[in-house]
Amino acid sequence: MASGTKKQEKADENGRERIVQATTPAPGPENSGDDAGMTAGEQAQEERARQLAENPADPVVAEERMARDLRPRHFRDYVGQKAVVDSISIAVLAARKRGDTLDHALFHGPPGLGKTTIAHIIARELDSTLVHTSGPALERPADVVGLLSNLKTGDVLFIDEIHRLSHAVEEYLYSAMEDFRIDFMTGSGAFAKSINLPLQPFTLIGSTTRAGMLSAPLRERFGLSYHLDFYSTEELTQIVTRSAGILDVDIDSEGAFEIARRSRGTPRISNRLLRRVRDYAEVRHTGAVDKSVASEALGIEGVDSLGLDRLDRLYLTTLSKNYQGGPAGIQALAATINEDQQTLEDVVEPFLLKIGFIVRTPQGRRTTPEGFEHLGLQPGLDGPAGQGTLL
């Protein structure tokens, strides 16, 4: 990469990890000295890197830098997901001792739980370059062939939302992951021929919120597969306290706990709510955050005592009132709420299921007695434990 990336490398406290954002094939050494031949996306990323290095006073740049700094940089700093972190850190250490590449790894689970953060830590612990792309960005086989052919030995290729890869692109990954080679056809008819392109050994890290949408052949080629679950309130309290120290927010233990217990078990939400509480404390109070200040701020944000936001409560209220607690199909709920069905399945329902406010049955979604109690409603005669009505 050009000068912007070099400045980022110098800014890294370890001087080791280099991150390449790739929406098209990563630039090779032949065009790394100038912007000639760079795509528009690469030029935009290069310019953003320069801004981050040269304009620290810019509020937008400061917010971006802040978001990056909140990520833990080493496994020892990572809070939560103990079983996952212990297992992957052992695999990383073993690979480093052998001087070998790490097995391909797949991380799956709800959004905001640290899948991308772990990928960054792996690359840093391996002293490797992290090439970051996403499933929707790899539209054609040529995209993935160019990207893979530019990887160096030991590089880490991180594909976010890997379940959104097209089948044509996915098939090129099979031989690349197993044998570190790509077979592709050139020409057509009588002039068609197969070309075998050898690749340097690399590590592919996939991240997905919908592991079930991955094809079996791709899923089975990952030597390491981990599910990330929601965090406990105690773990989130540690994360809020750590982030508050980085953001220079004066917060006590009760204030951190109040934010943590309303964060839906998700570190990303904890950090987002911490910023909103910080803003409220600076404008309406002295800047210090305690339990009462955090509660007031989160009340204004529409986050209740259990972390349910406006959309969560709308979903639960619609199911409980409009459909008398269910059963109700997800399509009917999405149409009633006027919200995308996938948003309800991926964002709203996982947490409501985890805290036991709804259940999924063959007939549809139902509200549990705990869900009715949280809304201050009485379960209907045909409640969650009763016999469903046949229509």
Q: Is the pLDDT of residue 19 over 90?
A: no
- The pLDDT score that the predictor gives to residue 368 is 92
Distance separating alpha carbons of residues 203 and 133, to the nearest angstrom: 14
Cα three-residue angle 219-139-223, rounded to 5 degrees:
20
pLDDT(274) > 90? yes
For position 233, what pLDDT does the model report? Answer: 92
Rg for the chain (alpha carbons), in Å? 24
Give the pLDDT of residue 107. Answer: 94
Give the whole-angstrom CA distance, residue 84 versus residue 103.
15
The answer to whether the CB of 213 falls within 8 A of the CB of 225 is no
Render pLDDT for 98-129 as a digit per residue (tens, 0 to 9): 888 899 999 998 888 989 999 999 999 998 88
Counting residues of the chain whose pLDDT is more than 90, the rounded percentage is 35
Would you place residue 256 in the very low, low, confident or very high pLDDT band (cuts 50, 70, 90)?
A: very high
Question: For residue 34, what pLDDT is reported?
Answer: 46
**Which residue, chain included where needed, has tokens 């539209």?**
139
Cis-peptide into 369, omega within 30 deg: no
- Please say whether the beta carbons of 73 and 93 come within 8 A: no
pTM: 0.73
Residues paired with residue 194 on neighbouring β-strands, in sequence order: 185
**Higher-pLDDT residue of 307, 27:** 307
pLDDT score of 41: 44
CB 27 within 8 A of CB 42: yes
Please give the pLDDT value at position 14: 47
User: CA 299, CA 311: separation in Å to the nearest integer?
Assistant: 14
**The pLDDT value given to residue 255:** 92
- Active-site residue set: 115-116, 160, 209, 268
pLDDT digits (tens, 9 = 90+) for 141-199: 888 888 888 888 989 999 998 888 888 888 888 888 888 888 776 666 666 777 778 88
Dihedral angle of Cα 75, 152, 5, 23, to the nearest 10 degrees: -90
Q: Is the pLDDT of residue 72 over 50?
A: yes
Check: CB of residue 182 under 8 Å from CB of residue 135. no
Distances (CA, A) of 117 to 130, 228, 243, 335: 12, 12, 15, 35
Question: What's the confidence (pLDDT) of residue 105?
Answer: 93
Quickly count: other Cβ atoms within 10 Å of residue 365's Cβ. 25
Mean pLDDT of the chain: 80
pLDDT: which is higher, 276 or 385: 276
Map out the domains of the chain with their CATH numbers: 3-227 (3.40.50.300), 233-300 (1.10.8.60), 310-375 (1.10.10.10)
What count of residues does the chain have?
391
* Helices and strands (H, E) in the chain, number of each type: 17, 10
* Mean pLDDT of all residues in 201-227: 89
Q: What is the DSSP string of 277-330?
A: HHHHHHHHSSS-B-HHHHHHHHHHTT--TTS--HHHHHHHHIIIIITTT--B-H
pLDDT band, very low/low/confident/very high, at 55 (cuts 50, 70, 90): low
Calpha distance 289→388 (Å, rounded): 48
Question: Is residue 274 exposed (0-12), middle (13-18) or buried (19+ Cβ within 10 Å)?
Answer: buried
Q: pLDDT band for position 226 (50/70/90)? A: very high
Quick: pLDDT tens for 333-379: 999 999 888 889 888 888 899 888 999 998 899 999 999 988 888 88
d(CA 110, CA 121): 19
pLDDT tier, 47 (very low <50, low <70, confident <90, very high otherwise)? low
Q: Which residue has the higher pLDDT, 40 or 320?
A: 320
Instruction: Average the pLDDT over each of 190-204, 216-230, 268-282, 325-339 and give the range with the smallest value.
Output: 190-204
Lowest mean pLDDT: which of 46-60, 77-91, 293-307?
Answer: 46-60
Distances (CA, A) of 262 to 257, 265, 295, 301, 308: 9, 8, 10, 11, 7
Tokens of 382: 């045909």
| CB of 314 closer than 8 Å to CB of 343 | no
